[in-house]
């Protein structure tokens, strides 16, 4: 039995993928296997992996099928192969791991059989915390506070800053609603219980949805900052910034309809979906008006 099966979805970031795989291969204290799922890259990523990392399994998609579908292809590979992996790890190619990261994450999850999902502290190249590494679900209330800018105005408020939990100490191990798919370690039994990622999500929201479904089944989701991972955030999505903006807000609509629509009255649903649509259109137009090199992902 292996400790970890690692799924890395790649899209045109060969140089970062190389660094990521090197850091994975330098991991100590764990038995692991790696599957790279390439979403039709044109930068020689597949050839690089096959030449430099012959032990890594490669799945070549004939088109960019999205993040959720590509991860599912990797997960299905590990569920169909032997030996069995106790944990499955979604890992972005723009991450770099310290040698003891995987060993420490496995030890933590081994010590907590109630934990279905765990993620580490993700740190950006400038040393700042990647706020997405610990989140609350975007309930209507949380969304409104975020949309109105209250989470930025009052980052230490438990009421207003729930989405990114900025009122918490970044070094505090804590139960959260969700961690980010850039490094998302999931117990095999939790996946068998909850199922794969929802492929209605193309490149955002699938990690939130997966965490939501896993938590609904009684598993715990934990943020574990005793492990720190470097994250060169957005290197794939910045190649398609305008689409990324649209997909971010589309994912919000999909998530809302799936998990909150039935719980609320028509007026609340109309207001929420209208607000998401308006915010998305405003962000899309604002991005188009920016110089190409300064467009944002969301």
> Is the pLDDT score of 10 beyond 60?
yes
**Mean pLDDT of the 245-251 span:** 86
**pLDDT score for 240:** 53
Residue 181 and residue 288 in one domain: no
Residue 103 and residue 248 in one domain: no
Query: Is 99 within a domain?
Result: yes
Query: Is 131 within a domain?
Result: yes
Where among 217, 235, 253 does a domain terminate?
Answer: 235
**Mean pLDDT of the 104-127 span:** 98
Query: Is 71 within a domain?
Result: yes
**Mean pLDDT of the 100-129 span:** 98
**pLDDT score for 296:** 54
Question: Tokens in use for 186?
Answer: 């999931």
**Mean pLDDT of the 261-280 span:** 84
CA distance 34 to 45: 15
- Considering only CA atoms, give the Rg of the chain: 19
Please name the residue that has the structure tokens 């059989």: 113
Residue 109 and residue 12 in one domain: yes
CATH of the domain at 185: 3.90.550.10
Query: Is 161 within a domain?
Result: no
Q: State phi, psi for 124 to the nearest 5 degrees.
A: -80, 165
Residue 47 and residue 117 in one domain: yes
Q: List, in sequence order, every beta strand (DSSP E) within the chain.
A: 2-10, 32-38, 57-60, 85-91, 95-96, 115-123, 174-175, 183-187, 220-231
Query: Is 18 within a domain?
Result: yes
Going by pLDDT thresholds of 50, 70 and 90, the confidence category of residue 244 is confident
> Is the pLDDT score of 150 beyond 60?
yes
**Mean pLDDT of the 25-35 span:** 98
Please name the residue that has the structure tokens 């949380």: 142
Residue 73 and residue 203 in one domain: yes
Quote the mean pLDDT of the chain: 92
Range(s) of the domain holding residue 247: 239-294
**Mean pLDDT of the 238-262 span:** 81
Question: Tokens in use for 164?
Answer: 């990114």
Residue 184 and residue 279 in one domain: no
CB 166 within 8 A of CB 151: yes
Measured from the Cβ of residue 112, the count of other Cβ atoms closer than 10 Å reads 14
- The tally of domains found in the chain comes to 2
Nearest CA to 139 out of 244, 264, 274 is that of 264
Residue 263 and residue 204 in one domain: no
**Mean pLDDT of the 172-191 span:** 98
Measured from the Cβ of residue 123, the count of other Cβ atoms closer than 10 Å reads 17
Residue 83 and residue 183 in one domain: yes
Residue 95 and residue 182 in one domain: yes
Residue 116 and residue 34 in one domain: yes
**Mean pLDDT of the 215-220 span:** 98
CA distance 249 to 280: 5
Residue 109 and residue 18 in one domain: yes
Residue 105 and residue 68 in one domain: yes
**pLDDT score for 174:** 98
């Amino acid at each position: 039995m292996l400790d970890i099966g690692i799924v890395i979805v790649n899209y045109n970031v060969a140089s970062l993928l190389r660094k990521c795989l090197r850091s994975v291969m330098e991991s100590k204290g764990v038995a692991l296997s790696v599957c790279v799922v390439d979403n039709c890259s044109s930068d020689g990523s597949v050839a690089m992996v096959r030449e430099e990392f012959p032990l890594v399994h490669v799945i070549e998609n004939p088109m960019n099928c999205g993040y959720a579908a590509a991860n599912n292809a990797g997960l299905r590979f590990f569920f169909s192969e032997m030996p069995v992996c106790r944990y499955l790890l979604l890992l972005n190619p723009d991450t770099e791991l310290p040698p003891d990261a995987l060993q420490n994450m496995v030890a933590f999850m081994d010590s907590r059989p109630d934990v279905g999902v765990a993620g580490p502290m993700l740190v950006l190249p400038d040393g700042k915390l990647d706020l997405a590494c610990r989140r609350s679900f975007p309930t209507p209330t949380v969304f409104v506070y975020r949309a109105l800018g209250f989470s930025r105005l009052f980052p230490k408020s438990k009421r207003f800053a729930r989405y990114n939990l900025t009122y918490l100490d970044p070094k505090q191990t804590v139960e959260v609603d969700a961690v980010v798919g850039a490094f998302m370690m999931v117990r095999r039994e939790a996946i068998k219980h909850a199922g794969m990622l929802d492929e209605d999500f193309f490149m955002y929201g699938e990690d939130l949805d997966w965490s939501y479904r896993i938590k609904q089944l009684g598993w715990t989701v934990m943020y574990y900052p005793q492990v720190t991972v470097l994250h060169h955030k957005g290197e794939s999505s910045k190649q398609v910034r305008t689409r990324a903006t649209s997909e971010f807000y589309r994912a919000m609509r999909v998530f809302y309809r799936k998990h909150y629509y039935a719980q609320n009255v028509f007026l609340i649903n109309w207001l929420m979906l209208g607000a998401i649509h308006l915010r998305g259109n405003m962000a899309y137009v604002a991005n188009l008006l920016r110089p190409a090199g300064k467009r944002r992902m969301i």
